[in-house]
Chain A
Amino acid sequence: MQTFIVRRLLIGVLILFVLSVTVFLLLRIVPGDPAIQKCGLNCKEDQIKAIRHELGLDKPYFPVAFEGGAPFLSFNTASQYGDWLQGVVTGDLGTSTVNNRPVSESIRKRFPVTLELMILTLVITIFVGIPFGVVSAVWKNSPVDLLVRFTAIFGLAVPVFWVATLVLILPQEWWGYAPPLGGRYVHLMDNPVDNLKQFLPPAAVLALGSAAGVMRLTRSSLLETLRQDYMRTARAKGLRERTVVFSHGLKNSLIPVVTVLGLQMAGLLGGAIIVEQIFTLPGLGGYTFLALFQKDFEVVQTMTLYAGVTVVVLNLAVDVSYAWLDPRIRYS
């Protein structure tokens, strides 16, 4: 088990390295100079030069470079990628050109918002997706099943941004009700009601697609399990139907569901960009989007790296949880 985790973590680090270099290079081909962006329109040549120096844009890209095409490596102590990576590791991320505030401060303030959004979304996904999947599988082809399946098909087809827009606009037009907007974050501990008013609509919208996916998978996986011989055995020895379905059936059909939950997290992080934007939640998704538009490369790099770390760790957690769900699975 330990060797498995260590190996997976090493692969994870490798994946993150490739990802960070790719994103780094991609961002360098964005047309437009962040120095000019920061300096304004009527800006003198030497002013731009000074800002470029201040932002570190005059340094080479990587700490290791090929000199003149020959296979001689040259090492630079100061480089854009090296400095950025050092900043990420030490937690000193510099100042953002977006709002002239320290990046680490912005992230610290915005992190709880996105975290709460993600947790709420996951909770809704699980507590809507799995029960409806079970109902749908147990009463297969009943009207309830058909209704649930039809809703799920729709849930997978609607665009998140459209539902979010409708959820904002329709109540406003019909009843003059708008969820609290304006980018101020009410902490859960300070005022739970206002906090949930702010977070439930976006989380529900974001969970629509993932809950539909989880529901469909729970249904098909449980149907598969219900056909197994041990289900007949469990019934034959007189267990209550509830025990049969939940302890013997559901637990054994959860592995693909957990896998998909892990994979969906990546999609949900992407969806957070859209939902935070529409519901004006001051979270990390909106911050990343703003940084991308304002050409603040380092913030985008940092945020993609964090998203990557989250996903790698979550997927590892998913793989480890298999061993708990199915004792036959052992890692060595």
Chain B
Amino acid sequence: MTVSEEIALGTSGFLDDRASRAGASFARRVAKFATLARQNPLGAMGLVVIIVFIAMAIFAPIVAPYAPTEFAGRNNETMSSSHIFGTERLGRDIFSRFVYGSRISLSVAVISVLLGGSIGILFGVVSGYMGGMIDSIFQRTVDAAIAFPALLLLLIITQALGPSYRTIVFALMLAVIPGVTRVVRGAVLSEKNNQYVEAARASGAWAPRILIRHLLPNVVALGIIVMTTLLGGIILAESALSFLGLGIPNATSWGQDVSKARDSLPYHIPAVVFPGMAITLTVLGFNLLGDSIRDIFDPRLRGSR
């Protein structure tokens, strides 16, 4: 609430100072954003959490007091001023690993959701517009993919291709495609009956042109909304793979840190708690933001998750 109020106060001052058109339109956008943030405090909170984590990922070397792999202290130290979260079993600083871990989780999730989401939007548009046989094939495949334990398939794919950054992005990308395809297809089905599609067809436009120039722009927004709601789940899946030992080898990842802390005796509670908390906070941020974005842009989808 305080953040959105600050933004709101800032804008009103901004409006008084500059009356130029560009400034005013920018200010109006900020004001609109502030109103949205005030109406959706939880979404605003999610956005703040995500911005903090993204900043942490980008500026990790500045934020973290030690390198993630540096043996910075004795092993299993409790929280102190030099190690605010303590150190783990090998004496590495837990806070530094907390900070660096965000790089893997965020980049893997964002890249795979962007790739998978784009393919899903494309599939959805083609499937919905073409109908008939092509639509059936797409939809049965999506049925199979949605009905199947995603984690098991992710495990098989990563095991088959060998765990690496590329494999994991690829596997998670596959997990994103079906959900996006289904929602976008539904939107295309109702969209393609509009007159503008008919007009385009009457003017002799061929199918790919209608798809790309006319239908795609009208469903992209929906696809992006679905993609935002999927981000949290993808981060959970990535961390689960890491936990099970099929994550990116030799990377600083939260899932692996929980796994290692669980395997080493005697237990050191902070080494278990903080990496897991990092995952929870990130996923929480993305879920809150995704829900709000969905509610704002498309009330029909409310409660669909």
Contact = CB atoms under 8 A, between A and B. Distances in A.
Contact of B272 (A158, A165, A308): A165
B156 A23 contact: yes
Contact size range, A: 35 or more
B276 A311 contact: no
Contact of B156 (A154, A162, A300): A300
Interface string B261-281: 110000101001101100111
19 contacts: A15-B147, A18-B140, A30-B159, A156-B232, A157-B280, A159-B239, A160-B240, A162-B276, A166-B272, A166-B276, A170-B269, A220-B303, A263-B147, A266-B147, A270-B149, A271-B151, A273-B151, A292-B156, A304-B148
B244 A277 contact: yes
Contact of B148 (A11, A156, A162, A307): A307
B156 A29 contact: no
B30 to A, nearest CB: 27
Contacts of A166: 272-273, 276
Contacts of B161: 29
B156 A304 contact: yes
A140 to B, nearest CB: 14
A263 B150 CA distance: 11
B157 A270 contact: no
Contacts of A304: 148, 152-153, 156
A165 B262 contact: yes
Contacts of B287: 153, 156-157
Contacts of A19: 144, 148
Given A26-B156, A29-B161, A153-B284, A161 B149 contact: no
Interface of B: 42, 140-141, 143-144, 146-153, 155-157, 159-162, 232, 236, 239-240, 243-244, 255, 258-259, 261-262, 267, 269, 272-273, 275-276, 279-281, 283-284, 287-288, 302-303, 305
B157 A26 contact: yes
B280 to A, nearest CB: 5
A42 B70 CA distance: 38
Contacts, number: 144
Given A27-B156, A217-B303, A169 B262 contact: yes
B258 A165 contact: yes
Contacts of A213: 305
A-B pairs, top 5 by smallest CB distance, nearest first, are: A270-B151, A220-B303, A162-B276, A270-B149, A157-B284
B284 A161 contact: no
Given A159-B239, A162-B276, 16 more contacts: A15-B143, A18-B140, A18-B141, A26-B156, A153-B42, A153-B287, A158-B283, A165-B272, A166-B272, A169-B262, A173-B269, A266-B148, A266-B149, A270-B149, A278-B262, A304-B153
